[in-house]
Amino acid sequence: MSDSLNLKRRSLLQGLGAVLGTAAACNLLGGNAIAIANAYTPKPNSHKLAGEVFSQPQMQMLRDICAHVIPKTDTPGAVDVDCHGFVDHQLKHVHEQSAQSSATAILDKINQVCRTRFSKGFIELNDAQQLDILQQVEALQGSFSKQDETGFKLVKSLIVFGYYTSQSGAMQELRYLPVPGGFRGSVPYKDVGTAWSSKAYY
Query: What string of DSSP letters covers 150-167?
Result: HHHHHHHHHHHHHHHTSH
pLDDT over 90 (residue 178): no
- Residues 46-56, mean pLDDT to the nearest whole number: 94
The pLDDT value recorded for residue 160 is 87
Q: Could you tell me which residue, 28 or 151, shows the higher pLDDT? A: 151
The pLDDT value recorded for residue 161 is 86
The pLDDT value recorded for residue 65 is 96
Q: Which amino acid is at 5?
A: L
The pLDDT value recorded for residue 21 is 52
The pLDDT value recorded for residue 13 is 41
Per-residue pLDDT band at 169 (split at 50, 70, 90): low
| C-alpha 159 chain-centroid distance | 2
pLDDT over 60 (residue 94): yes
Q: Residue length, the chain?
A: 202
Q: Are 66 and 77 in contact (CB under 8 A)?
A: yes
Per-residue pLDDT band at 8 (split at 50, 70, 90): very low
The pLDDT value recorded for residue 39 is 75
pLDDT over 50 (residue 87): yes
The pLDDT value recorded for residue 30 is 56
Q: Which amino acid is at 197?
A: S
**Number of C-beta neighbours around residue 19 at 10 A:** 14
H-assigned helices in the chain: 3-20, 22-28, 33-39, 56-69, 83-94, 97-118, 127-139, 146-164, 167-168, 189-192
The pLDDT value recorded for residue 64 is 97
- Residues 151-158, mean pLDDT to the nearest whole number: 92
The pLDDT value recorded for residue 57 is 96
